[in-house]
Amino acid sequence: MAEAAVIFVLERVADVVAEIQFPKDVRPEIQRLRDELKRMQCFLKYADAKQESDLQVRNWVSDVRNLAYDAEDLIDTYILKIESFKYKKRNFLNRYASTLKARTKIGKDLAAIRTRISDISISHEAYGIRSIGDGTSHAFANERLLKLRRSTPRGQDKDIVGLEEDIATLVARLVLEDQWRAISIVGMGGIGKTTCAKEVYNHGDVQTFFDCRAWVYVSQQFRTRDILQSIIKQVATRTRDMTKLLEEELEEMLYKLLQGRRYLVVLDDIWSTTDFDSLAKAFPSDCSGNKLLLTTRNNNVALHADAQSLPHELRFRNQEDSWKLLCRKAFTESIDRVCPQQLEEIGQEIVAKCSGLPLAIIVVGGMLSRKRRLSEWQRVLNTIRLLLARDPNGVSAILALSYYDLPYYLKFCFLYLGLFPEDYLFSARKLFRLWIAEGLIPQHGGKMEDVAEEYLNELIDRNMVQVARWSANERVKHCQLHDLMRDLSISKAKAEEFLYIHGHLVTVAPASYHALSRARHHAIYSNSSFSLEKSSPNLRSLLFFKVDQIKCEISSYDICTCFKLLRVLELEELNVSSIPREIGEMIHLRYLGLKRSSTTELPEEIGCLSNLQTLDIAENFSLLKIPDVLWKMKSLRHFYMHARLLAGKLRIDTLQNLQTLSDMHIGSWNETSPANLISLRKLGLKGSFTANRVRIFDSLAKLVSLHSLSLKSADIVFPSLSQLSSLRYVIKLHLSGGIINLPEPHEFPPNLNQLTLYHSRLDKNPMEILEKLPYLFVLRLKSCSFLGKKLKFSANGFPQLEFLELEFLEFLEALEGEERAMPKIRSLQIVGCGRLRMLPEEIKYATTLRELVFKEMPRNFLDRLQGEDSHKVQHVPSIVKS
């Protein structure tokens, strides 16, 4: 891990040497610092591996890490001082004197750090630390990632080996027992409780039996109102704004929604009887067959929830099932998942060390999936033996092995995930932006967002990160950490003095003042009492997660004046009415999150943030105007705003690094010259397209990198959309607003593969046109996009379509399809189409169909799927109803 810190500082030094003009006597000091750190890097790979078993080596590694952090602080503080002189009202002589003084000081400080480096370098011989080469460069890392890059997206791989009997038993208990019951799945962490519950929840018999279902993660950090809101959203057809409702009102609302309906609610990962009691009153027991399904590590919780219901305890896997599961994870490239004969004996011994715990088996399997030589497997076995001998807790020892096996560039990335709350679903795209802002992704070797995606994919392939949601084209949308992997992340981050969590219920984060002041990445949770007094001015990250500001006495002014070295500031959902002018002094800031933060104004000084990469002010509806200073922010890559912002001048044509712009008012767009936005990949525009239609589409056609476009019309209907054909680079299109006539097939973007229509109010069958789009892969017809009664699909239409979603088409009564329609369809989702009577007979010929999803559909439609229409869908592997 110290190796990662040193490499990071090496890259910072290289940047400083390139960008900052030092006096002649200081520049050599910078270069010597770089050379010394590079030499030290040769010893760190060996030391990092040895430190777990040798206290002296561990202390040496800690000294190196602290030195690297101090060098980083020195460099960033110097840059901050030099930049601040530019904005202070001083005459030339005073400014020159101050600059010279700062440069002289950094020269002396660098010399002191070099002295420390010399002392540390000498001591490595005494501790038996030897060099093992030049270390792994980012260039090598990128080359390695290119080799790992998949030619096709990763799909989900179920981990239910050995759970078949448990699933069958639980399904029977849910659908055969008539009375209300709270059924609990009990077992230690990592034994497969959530995996088992998901299989039961999505079982066909369960979906048919219950009128409505909901799934919520409870965890140790839950807030009752968040859980209630989540369940309401899942069981209600339409939901109103619940932000101002009291807990008691939410409880009453949920009770009434469930009353008279046969429901199943899963409370996943519930920790205490108190937590259960805070939710129990919202669940009526008036209807026979109502069920709660709990997963918990605590048998007392299970008995407290329902003393008459026997807890279902999961067992450890036997050796046979353990071996099957390991092979499934270790040999993903093999169709039959068979282990080569020369690896089987040692593999059986490795899996035996996992003691039948599925999570340990899965993680070890992910690690072995990159190793094919017998010597590599033997090394893994030897390490497991060593770790188990030292740590009686076999689970944590085996999981720790997965961390030690990570390449240096992934260790920081994995530790960073420990900042997120327990069971938190984090957006993959947001994670990429945070990693990039922190400097964890190299700036060379392709687009940083693409490299970040490969980093995440590798952590997923190693089974250290779980995928929660996939996109239609099977890219990762949301992820989460298993509780035990999160504990591992936080415990290693504690040892590395990497992060501190305020409001963490389990004390695994650093507790001492020294550790608190050294940790550079802080997360503040909902029950936190965060205080400035104990926090280090050298913070690099400050992230708030649904914080109660009554307990957290801190203002945006305090943050901007006390933490000037911040790179990441996430204030999402924090009540921040204004941002102070002092934010302009935070020149290292790369990520500023103000989504749903109630901010009413932004100061002009925000334009001084020349290094800012992400600015997120989405869903800040009280913010009606932003100053015309964005053009100064040359590093800006992602800008999220809301379309209620008043139209006005907002110059952006200097932002050649801008990749995302969403959602911009069309009036502001017309005031700028967007042709220079050579990196813009994703654009959202909202407003009236009638007056300047030709000009708008001409400007869009000049965006050579644009591949995703969203147009939201404020007019009653869109004007002619025939100019869409000029957008030859666009592959993803979202149209929101009335459309009298769809463009002809040749008038759509020629390479379009994803299309979403929303509130289009079409009365003619749109499929007659859309099915002729040659590359269309995903089609979504959203609320009120079609007002007719019948959708008809022709033979050989939609030659490439794999994903079709029909959502809230309230007048739709029938689907008609010819036998060879949609020859590649893989997923069909129908949501809230209350008048739809049945699926067409021809769907039985759709042999490529792998998934059917039905949400908020009438009971008679769902009953037909189990009865007279069952022959139409019996070939489909996955049918989800909710």
Model confidence pLDDT, tens digit, residues 664-698: 988 888 888 888 899 999 999 998 888 888 889 99
State the Cα–Cα distance between residues 599 and 312, nearest whole angstrom. Answer: 49
Predicted local confidence at residue 165, as pLDDT: 95
Model confidence pLDDT, tens digit, residues 338-363: 899 999 999 999 999 998 999 999 99
Q: The tokens of 174 are what?
A: 């849910």
What Rg, from alpha-carbon coordinates, does the chain have?
29
DSSP symbol at 589:
-
Q: What is the mean pLDDT of residues 520-546?
A: 78
Predicted local confidence at residue 530, as pLDDT: 63
Q: The tokens of 273 are what?
A: 């009887």
Predicted local confidence at residue 754, as pLDDT: 97
Q: How confident is the model at residue 642 (pLDDT cuts 50, 70, 90)?
A: confident
Predicted local confidence at residue 631, as pLDDT: 92
Q: What is the mean pLDDT of residues 238-258?
A: 86
State the Cα–Cα distance between residues 39 and 43, nearest whole angstrom. Answer: 8
Q: What is the mean pLDDT of residues 442-455?
A: 84
Q: How confident is the model at residue 550 (pLDDT cuts 50, 70, 90)?
A: very low
Q: At what angle do helices 374-390 and 341-353 cross, to 10 degrees?
A: 10
Question: What one-letter code names the amino acid at 570?
Answer: E
Q: The tokens of 632 are what?
A: 């100064």
Beta bridge partners of 829: 805, 853
User: 164-313: which CATH number, 3.40.190.10, 3.40.228.10, 3.40.630.30, 3.40.50.300?
Assistant: 3.40.50.300
Q: What percent of the chain is modeled with pLDDT above 70?
A: 85
Check residues 44 and 457 and name the one with the higher pLDDT.
457
CA distances from 669 to 345, 607, 641, 664, 727 (A): 65, 19, 13, 7, 17
DSSP symbol at 745:
G
Q: List, as one string, the DSSP characters of 267-284.
A: EES---HHHHHHHHTTS-
Average pLDDT in the chain: 85
State the Cα–Cα distance between residues 586 and 500, nearest whole angstrom. Answer: 21
**499 SS3 class:** strand
State the Cα–Cα distance between residues 357 and 199, nearest whole angstrom. Answer: 18
The answer, yes or no, to whether residue 130 has pLDDT greater than 70, is no
CATH number 1.20.5 is the correct assignment for the domain at 2-135? yes
Q: Any idea which residue has 């799934």 for tokens?
A: 215
Predicted local confidence at residue 155, as pLDDT: 45
The answer, yes or no, to whether residue 517 has pLDDT greater than 60, is yes
CA distances from 576 to 547, 572, 599, 769 (A): 12, 9, 5, 48
Q: Any idea which residue has 């260039």 for tokens?
A: 139
Beta bridge partners of 601: 578
State the Cα–Cα distance between residues 336 and 338, nearest whole angstrom. Answer: 6
Q: What is the mean pLDDT of residues 452-473?
A: 92
Q: Where are the domains of the chain?
A: 2-135, 143-157+317-493, 164-313, 757-882
State the Cα–Cα distance between residues 65 and 255, nearest whole angstrom. Answer: 54
Query: Which residue, 73, 76, 53, is CA-closest to 65?
Result: 73
- Of 137-151, 256-270, 656-670, 775-789, the range with the lowest mean pLDDT is 137-151
662 contacts 637 by C-beta, under 8 angstroms: no
**Beta-strand pair 466-470/476-480:** antiparallel
Q: At what angle do helices 273-280 and 224-235 cross, to 10 degrees?
A: 50
- Of 43-57, 129-143, 224-238, the range with the lowest mean pLDDT is 129-143
Q: What is the mean pLDDT of residues 428-435?
A: 96
